[in-house]
Amino acid sequence: MFLINCPYCGERDQSEFVSGGEAHIARPKQPTELNDDQWAEYLFMRKNIKGIQFERWNHAHGCRKWFNVARDTSNDKIEKIYKMGEQPPKL
Amino acid sequence: MSKNLRINNKQFIDETRKLSFIFNGKKLYGYKGDTLASALLSNDIHLVGRSFKYHRPRGIMTSGSEEPNAILQIGNDDALTEPNVRATEIELYDGLICNSQNCWPSVKFDIGGINNFLSPLLPAGFYYKTFMWPASFWEKYEYFIRKSAGLGKSPTKQDPDMYDHRYMHCDILIIGGGVSGLIAAKIASDDNKKVLLLEDKELLGGSLIYDDNDISKIDNQKSSEWLKKLIENIKNDKNIIIKTRTSLAAYHNYNFLLARQNLTDHLSVNDRNNKIRQRLYKIRAKKVIISTGAIERPQVFHNNDRPGIMLASAVKKYIDYYGVRCGLENVIFTNNDSAYETALSLHKSGTKLNAIVDIRNNSSSEIVNKVKSLGIQIYWNHTIVNTKGYKRINKVTIMKLNDKGNDVVGKKIELNCDCLAISGGWTPMVHLFTQSGGKLKFDNKDNIFVPDKTNLNQLSIGSAKGDFELDDVLKNSIKDTKKFLQIENSNFDKIDVKCSKEKEKKNIWLLPSDKPLSKTKPFLDYQNDSTAKDIKLALREGFKSIEHVKRYTTTGMGTDQGKLANMHALGIVADTTNTNMGDLGTTTFRPPYTPLTFGTIVGRNVGQFFDIFRKTPMHDWHVDNNAKFENVGQWKRAWYYPKDGESMHDAVQRESKAARESSGILDASTLGKIDIQGTDANEFLNRVYTNAWSKLQIGKCRYGLMLNEDGMVYDDGVTTKLGENHYLMTTTTGGAANVMSKLEDYLQTEWPELDVFLTSVTDHYATASVCGPNAKKIINKIFKDLDLSDESFPHMSFKEVKLGNINCRVMRISFTGELSYEINVEASYGKYIWEKCIEAGKEFNITPYGTETMHLLRAEKGFIIVGQDTDGTMTPVDLQMDWIISKKKYDFIGKRSLYRSDTIREDRKQLVGLLTDDPNEILEEGAQIVKDENKKPVNMLGHVTSSYFSPTLKKSIALAVLKEGKKLKGQKLLVPMIDKTIKVTVSDTVFLDKENERING
Ligand SMILES: [Zn+2]
């Protein structure tokens, strides 16, 4: 059970949050111009790495805000939390 | 209490409080302070159960949570009985009833004991090899295995006990109230930290508190006396919260821990009334100190499992703490110095010690010299090669070890004994450390795994870290705790410790015997009956990984998680394969550390508190009017309203007929409602729904279909334009929360430029939906000034009106195909407006109908229910709802997916209607549809999603998803059932009023 430092509310128990999967996968601006493979890349393909992974989290039972988390999947250590729209940190 | 086994001990046992208990039907006595195990031992009872596979007689072996044999069924009440309770852990109370579990018909005569003689036929993997084939027989095998093995009986009635959960927060959590944990607690408290100290026993102090030898001294006092003063000091310390009888169950990441406290298990049954039985603490600790101590290992030799064979440390504790002799003729068998403390305790209590057998060549430490000076016979460099005595040990046979320690030489010597105290050294309790993700390293000197790396803010101290001698334990605990807490000085810095120091070490994982290994039974895991032979067999059969060996032989897989067995299993694997133990790695210890009751896990969330449920403002009216309810998500929705003992079918037929012929009323309050505001609200709707919203006028309503980005139907509902930049969206009842989250996600992460605000208002409004040919008349009676003409108030439009002071939003929308009005009011007026409608509708026989009738009415019209007729694999095209997909819009959620290669396949499953050839035959929802049921394998074409008998059409109707369904209209197909095959014809999805005339009344 993690402790997650919501950038808007502060440190809270993991049970208040939901994970939204891999971060920094922007929805294509012009989906109609993509071929099937390109669209499938956006729609289905997600990384599953051992090490630092960038993820979206939502403070669902709190402020309801989405934000980004850099988490080490090998030990669940949260290295960095940053707001939506910000660039991923170099780790 | 026979045979003079009880020694006067007024310190921990209250001999003024005699307690009676019943073991296997026999009434026995013990004292307050006893565990069930110590009470049994004081009655000269060692034999308490039978082993799992060979049904060998087994006795009490330990004095703690590592006990593999003495697991009993407590109580005989159908609701309160509890299996798998360790006699060594449960405190004796007056009236305790317990029974042996793993024996039938009785512990003394056990039919499964025949397995012992058949054991050459029962090697490792026996159950896997024999019973796994053919697979269809498994159920039968399982029955017999369970009957003859049986690890206790579950209670058959609901647990009447109360359980509780509580959150705790602390600076320092200390797990284990032995001497090192107590010192750490004091150091932390002196530094003004908030300390939570957990101890699984009833008293603090660990094993040092009953230490009675004169060799170890702290600050020139007897070590137990010094410790008692420290405990008094800690008990009065306001910074330290102490929870006794509290065992740590799980150590999760981020220092989140679960601990279970026993509050009433030690009380007599009558004293437990209205008290909480167990409490689960959910603990967040800034720092954690693990001081869980160590457990003694047995030694592995031929027939090392007889009743009367016990760990040396347990024999010592039964004497020094409980005042119970485990036998009158004792022999000690050891490879280390700690068993000599047991020798001193036996001697001091006047208990006969026949001999000590030590596999080492000699030892000259202080404590060994003291034992030597008492004239006790010590057989150096000897090992036990066999033991005798079926239900209780009566003899051991010893022989001299050769130089390598891998064989025995010389003559056999027989020693009499009724208790054999064995010690194979000590294993740090690193279970919690590894549970928390910590990595271990192997210490070749002591043959132990000790804590190494951790990511957490935690520290292991004392024997849990691998310090076994008193001066190391104390001095390192002080030093490490100070460093961990970043403290310069403590009150313990000048501590003076004196103790015996062990000088000789020797360890043989599998001791040799004069017989070949194949003729011996050296047990490793007592509970699962696995022997050293099984490990070797597994290795011969090609298992290499310790995890595989463990599963194949079931070593360490019992309720004790192999606390005693694991190190020997590893050692034998290492020796056999010539591997360093450190390279083998250990098996993973998983929570819970000791078994938890389900009650503790569930806490107060039982019965009506198992899950939260939501009621509409009209709920009480439904209850008063005999509604049956169905669960829709968390909502309790009125399902149907049976009258005079009607069946569900009859009630639904009556309700739907009334709605079609005069008027019906439905509580639609549970529909999800999202208030949407902002200058970009219209653009937002265009992006989330498949159809176009740009031209919707204020005061008008529109049906919308929402997709996932993969093109599959996600939700649907009607949205009303309340004002220029203000909309009210409705969602399905079950989908409300998910839709809200999804929309919020898009707004925050994909389209932050949009000026849109979403507010969930599901609970804020109540909705009464009045439908039927007389609906207009009823609404007119309620809102006398409201112009209900089709010109002023057409289908799919909305009016805001007042009823007295109540603001009402009236929508003319229909899910039944009938003329229908939905009245939305603030939730607190919900029941009022509902009753108003009922009153106004009386003369029109207004009939309340539930969700079942609603489903029937909409099915007659071919309206889908998302989640019933769709399952996350249906596109709007599959649903034959192409009309709702805007061709003009550049983009909306899921648009691109509608022409992926997979979604444009023509042979996808598509929504169709089905009519049964026999109009009275009602299909079962979920039934499969086929064309040819004779050609095997039968080709499944689809399945029925909705099915009803329509009283208006006087026939059965159904919706179904069917491969290439669009092309199959008019086709005859089959629905095979278990006892018959139903003939059906594919039809249109709209069964009633294809021209939509009813919508105007
Ligand atoms: Zn927040």
Q: Are residues B4 and B128 in the same domain?
A: yes
- CATH at B51: 3.10.20.440
Q: Are residues B677 and B816 in the same domain?
A: yes
Return the structure tokens found at A21.
Answer: 């999967």
- CATH at A54: 3.30.2270.10
Q: Are residues B33 and B107 in the same domain?
A: yes
pLDDT of residue B552: 84
Residue A57 lies in a domain: yes
The residues in A 4-63 lying below 8 A from B, measured between CB atoms, are 13, 18, 20, 26-27, 30-32, 34, 36, 39-40, 43, 56, 58, 60
CB contact under 8 A, B709 and A40: no
How many Cβ atoms sit within 10 Å of the Cβ of residue B386?
20
Residue with tokens 């909480």: B276
Residue A46 lies in a domain: yes
Candidates A13, A66, A77; nearest CB to B455: A77
Phi first, then psi, for residue B316 (nearest 5°) are -65, -45
Return the structure tokens found at A23.
Answer: 């971060």
| B278 and B163 Cβ atoms separated by less than 8 Å | yes
- Mean pLDDT of the B88-117 span: 76
- CATH at B763: 3.30.1360.120
Reply yes or no on whether the pLDDT at B133 is more than 60: no
* CA–CA dist B809, B723 (Å, integer): 13
Bridge partner list, B985: B915, B972
Q: How far is CA B776 from CA B286, B662, B840, B904, in A?
A: 66, 11, 11, 44
CB contact under 8 A, B709 and A43: yes
Bridge partner list, B716: B705
Q: What is the pLDDT of residues B823-842, one digit of tens each?
A: 999 999 999 999 999 999 99
Which of A11-20, B335-344, B544-553, B924-933 is predicted with the least confidence, judged by mean pLDDT? Answer: B544-553
* Residue-number span of the structural domain to which B828 is assigned: 667-857
pLDDT of residue B754: 98
Q: Which of B125, B140, B156 is the last residue of a domain?
A: B156
HSE on the CB side for B956, CA within 13 Å?
22
* CA–CA dist B843, B824 (Å, integer): 23
Task: With beta carbons under 8 A apart, name residues in chain A contacting B744.
Answer: 64, 66
Residue B353 lies in a domain: yes
B361 dihedral zone (left: phi>0; alpha: psi -120 to 50; beta): alpha
Q: Are residues B837 and B719 in the same domain?
A: yes
Our CA dihedral for B227, B228, B230, B233, rounded to 10 degrees, sits at 170
Q: Are residues B118 and B143 in the same domain?
A: yes
* CA–CA dist B864, B852 (Å, integer): 14
SS3 at position B747: helix
Residue B522 is given by DSSP the state B
| B510 and B300 Cβ atoms separated by less than 8 Å | yes
Residue B624 lies in a domain: no
* CA–CA dist B670, B635 (Å, integer): 7
- Cα dihedral sign, B548-B549-B553-B557: negative
Q: Ligand 1: distance of its center to the CA of B400 in Å?
A: 71
Residue B459 lies in a domain: yes
Residue B643 lies in a domain: no
Vertex B186: Cα angle to B181 and B188 (nearest 5)? 95
Q: What is the pLDDT of residues A17-69, one digit of tens each?
A: 999 999 999 999 999 999 999 999 999 999 999 999 999 999 999 999 999 99
Residue A56 lies in a domain: yes
Residue B896 lies in a domain: no
- Mean pLDDT of the B367-392 span: 96
Reply yes or no on whether the pLDDT at B1 is more than 50: no
Q: How many domains does chain B have?
A: 5
Amino acid identity of B141? Y
* CA–CA dist B757, B678 (Å, integer): 6
Q: Ligand 1: distance of its center to the CA of A8 in Å?
A: 5
- Mean pLDDT of the B895-902 span: 96
More confident residue, B148 or B108: B108
CB contact under 8 A, A66 and B749: yes
DSSP string, B489-506: --TTTT--EE--------
Which is nearest to B849 in space by CA: B816, B826, B808? B816
* CA–CA dist B546, B535 (Å, integer): 10
More confident residue, B413 or B142: B413
Q: Are residues B96 and B140 in the same domain?
A: yes
Residue B503 lies in a domain: no
- B757 to chain A, any CB pair closer than 8 A? The answer is no
* CA–CA dist B243, B202 (Å, integer): 9
Candidates A2, A32, A60; nearest CB to B891: A32
Mean of all residue pLDDT scores within chain B: 93
What is this structure's pTM? 0.89
CB contact under 8 A, A40 and B896: no
DSSP string, B328-358: SEEEEEESSTTHHHHHHHHHHTT-EEEEEEE
| B417 and B394 Cβ atoms separated by less than 8 Å | yes
pLDDT of residue B127: 56
Q: Ligand 1: distance of its center to the CA of B671 in Å?
A: 27
Name the strand (E) or helix (H) holding B582: helix B581-584
- CATH at B375: 3.50.50.60
Q: How far is CA B419 from CA B211, B304, B317, B425, B807, in A?
A: 21, 12, 14, 19, 86
Candidates B252, B710, B895; nearest CB to A31: B895
Vertex B552: Cα angle to B548 and B556 (nearest 5)? 85
First to last CA, chain A: 23
Task: With beta carbons under 8 A apart, name residues in chain B contacting A40.
Answer: 900
Residues shown for chain B = 1001
How many Cβ atoms sit within 10 Å of the Cβ of residue B753?
7
Q: What is the pLDDT of residues A62-86, one digit of tens each?
A: 999 999 999 999 999 999 999 999 9
Relative to beta strand B57-59, strand B448-453 is unpaired
Q: Which of B457, B476, B498 is the last residue of a domain?
A: B498
- CATH at B991: 2.40.30.110
Q: Ligand 1: distance of its center to the CA of A55 in Å?
A: 16
**Ordered alpha helix ranges (H), B531-580:** 532-540, 546-553, 566-577
pLDDT of residue B549: 87
pLDDT of residue B110: 60
- B256 to chain A, any CB pair closer than 8 A? The answer is yes
Q: Ligand 1: distance of its center to the CA of A66 in Å?
A: 8
Residue B91 is given by DSSP the state B
Return the structure tokens found at B596.
Answer: 């938890």
* Residue-number span of the structural domain to which A15 is assigned: 3-25+35-83
Q: Which of B436, B471, B498 is the last residue of a domain?
A: B498
- Mean pLDDT of the B710-728 span: 97
* CA–CA dist B470, B490 (Å, integer): 19
* CA–CA dist B787, B427 (Å, integer): 86
Q: What is the pLDDT of residues B160-192, one digit of tens each?
A: 999 999 999 999 999 999 999 999 999 999 999
Residue A30 lies in a domain: no
Q: How many domains does chain A have?
A: 1
pLDDT of residue B54: 81
* CA–CA dist B898, B852 (Å, integer): 32
Residue B656 lies in a domain: no
Which is nearest to A68 in space by CA: A16, A12, A23, A9? A23
Q: Ligand 1: distance of its center to the CA of B737 in Å?
A: 18
Q: Are residues B817 and B694 in the same domain?
A: yes
Q: What residues contact B644, with CB distance under 8 A and at least 6 apart?
A: none
Residue with tokens 């347990």: B314
Reply yes or no on whether the pLDDT at B506 is more than 90: yes
Which of B66-80, B141-155, B553-567, B713-727 is predicted with the least confidence, judged by mean pLDDT? Answer: B141-155
* CA–CA dist B52, B61 (Å, integer): 16
* CA–CA dist B237, B87 (Å, integer): 33
Q: What is the pLDDT of residues B617-665, one digit of tens each?
A: 999 999 999 999 999 999 999 999 999 999 999 999 999 999 999 999 9
CB contact under 8 A, A58 and B891: no
Residue A52 lies in a domain: yes
Task: With beta carbons under 8 A apart, name residues in chain B contacting A27.
Answer: 709, 750
Residue B924 is given by DSSP the state P
Q: Are residues B113 and B193 in the same domain?
A: no
In Å, how far is B244's CA from the nearest CA of chain A?
Answer: 25
Which is nearest to B609 in space by CA: B262, B163, B154, B279? B163
Reply yes or no on whether the pLDDT at B104 is more than 70: no
Which of B571-585, B771-785, B848-862 is predicted with the least confidence, judged by mean pLDDT? Answer: B571-585
| B671 and B781 Cβ atoms separated by less than 8 Å | no
Residue B866 lies in a domain: no
